[in-house]
Structure 1
Amino acid sequence: MRKTLLTASLLAAAIAAPAAQAFEAGDIIVRAGAITVDPRESSSKIFTEATNDLPGTNATLDSDTQLGLNFAYMITDKVGIELLAATPFSHSVGIKGMPLNLDGKLGDIKHLPPTVSAVFYPLDSKSAFQPYVGLGINYTTFFNEKLTDQRKAQGFSNLNLDDSWGLAAQVGMDYMLTDNLMLNAQVRYIDIETHATADSAFGKVKVDVDVDPMVYMVGLGYKF
C-alpha cells in the first residue's frame, strides 16, 4: 500500500510539475568541444613567372582539430544568433605535380574562421531533443605562414595566403541533459577561398585554392 501511494504521489508530482523549456527568448548558450576543420580543397594549376600554369599541378591542405567555442543568444524561442570561434587551426600546405622533384610539403599556416550565423529551432521548446539549422557569414584570416627549411634551401620565400569572406551553412542538435546542461553536435560547410603566393627561383609562384571545408564539432553546452 505504501509503495502504491508513493508511486501515485510521484506520478502526480511529475504531471503537476511544469515541463522544462529548452530555449526561450533572452537565453545565452555557451558550448565548447572538439572541432575539426576538414578541407575539401580544389585548386587552380600552380603558376610561376618562368613557366606560367604548370599542367597537372595543384595545392593541398590537411585537416586539424582544435578547441571549438559557440556563443548564442536567443532572439525568440526558436531563432538565435550564434558566433563560432576556436583556437587557431594549423595546416600543412603541400604542392603536387611539380617538376624537378619539388612535390611535397611547402610549409605550415594557421587560420581562424569566426562565423556568425542565424539559427532556427523547429521543434517545440519543451522537447529535450532540439535539432537546428543555420546560415551565416564566415571570415577566415590566415597568418603565421612558414616555409619548411627544405623549401627555404630550394629558394622559396614569402609564403602568403589572402584572407577570405564566404557563406556558411550548418545543421546541428542539442540534447538537454538537465534544464541547463546539453549535449551538442554540429556539422558545417564553409565557403573559403584564398589566393596563395610565394617567391621562388622560378619567380613569383601563385595558386588559387577553394578550401571549402566540412567542419565537425561535438561538445557540451550550458544555458544561462
Structure 2
Amino acid sequence: MKYLKLTLICALFCSATAAFAQEKNELDIRVRAVAVIPQESASIGVIGGGVNISNSVIPEVDFTYFFAKNFSAELILGTTKHKVNTKGSNLTAIGGSSSADVNLGSVWLLPPTLTLQYHVPAGKVFKPYLGAGANYTIFYSADKGNTVQGIKYKDKFAFAAQAGADFDISKKVFLNIDVKKLFLNTKATVDASNLTPAGSPALAPVLQNINADVKIRPWLIGIGIGRRF
C-alpha cells in the first residue's frame, strides 16, 4: 500500500509537471522597471571612512530561452547611474574635518547578467522560478564631481542569484516580478592630488593614488510585463 501511494504521488507529480511545463525552444521577452538598491561598504586607504552609493530606478529588458522543459537561460540588459561619496573620512592631513563626506561624483554601470533558471511547475497561471549565474559589470562615464581630480573603477565579474514569478494574463502575455542579488565588488582609485596643501607637497603622491575596495552588492527588484514567442 505504501509503495502504491508513492507510485500514485509520483505519477500525479509527473502528470502535473508535463501539463504545466514551459516548453522547450520557447522565447520570453520581458520589459521591467527595476529598483537598483546597493548594499554598499568599503575599505578606503589613506583617508578611511565608508561609502554611500545612491539607489536608482531603471528600465530593463531581458530575454529568456527555454532549452528544456522548465529550464531556461536568461540574459538581462540595462544600465544604471549612481552618485557616490565617502562618509566619515579623515581629512585632517589636508586641513579638513576628521569625519567628512567627500563627493566622488557619479558613475554609470552596465551589468549584463546571465542566469540559468529552473521554473517550478506550480500551476497554469502562477509560474515561479529560481536562478543563478554570472554578472559582468562595466563602469563607464565616471564623473569625478567637483572635489577630486579623478576617479577610476575596475570592471568586475560577480555571482548572481535570482528568484521570481510569472503571472499569466493570457496564453502569450504575462506579468513578472523578479528579485536578483549581485555579489559585486570593485576596486576604485581616487586622484585627490588637487587637495594637496601648499605647505605639504610630499602628500601629493599619496593623495594621487587613494585605493578603495568597494562592496556594492545591490538588490535588483523588478516588475514588468512579458510576452512568449
Could you report, residue by residue, the CA deviation over 1:8-31 in whole angstroms, capped at 9, with x for unpaired residues? xxxxxxxxxxxx967211110000
2:50 maps to 58
1:210 maps to 215
Give the % identical residues.
28
Is the 8 Å Cα contact of residues 139 and 154 (structure 2) preserved in structure 1? yes
Distance 2:124 2:119 in 1: 11
Distance 1:93 1:109 in 2: 8
Matched, 1:113 2:103: no
Normalization by structure 1: what TM-score? 0.81
Which letter does structure 1 place at the counterpart of 2:210? V
Shift of 1:130: 0.1
2:29 maps to 30
Could you report, residue by residue, the CA deviation over 1:121-154 in whole angstroms, capped at 9, with x for unpaired residues? 1215x611100000110000101011112x1xxx
1:221 maps to 226
Distance 1:34 1:62 in 2: 17
Extract structure 1 runs of 4+ deviating beyond 2 A. 20-23
Number of aligned residue pairs = 191
Matched, 1:93 2:84: yes
Which is further off, 107-116 or 94-103?
94-103
1:122 maps to 120
> Within 5 Å, which residues of 2 pair with 1:1-224?
23-44=22-43, 46-48=44-46, 54-55=47-48, 57-86=49-78, 88-98=79-89, 99=91, 100-101=96-97, 102-123=100-121, 127-149=124-146, 151=147, 156-201=148-193, 202-224=207-229
Normalization by structure 2: what TM-score? 0.79
Gaps of 5+ in 1: 1-19, 49-53
SS of the aligned residue for 1:75 comes to strand
SS of the aligned residue for 1:23 comes to coil
Gaps of 5+ in 2: 1-18, 194-206
Could you report, residue by residue, the CA deviation over 1:108-127 in whole angstroms, capped at 9, with x for unpaired residues? 10001110010111215x61
Distance 1:21 1:43 in 2: 46
Which has more helix, going by share of residues?
2
SS of the aligned residue for 2:68 comes to coil
Shift of 1:105: 2.4
Distance 1:196 1:181 in 2: 43
SS of the aligned residue for 2:209 comes to strand
Q: What do you get for the CA RMSD once the two structures are aligned?
A: 1.6
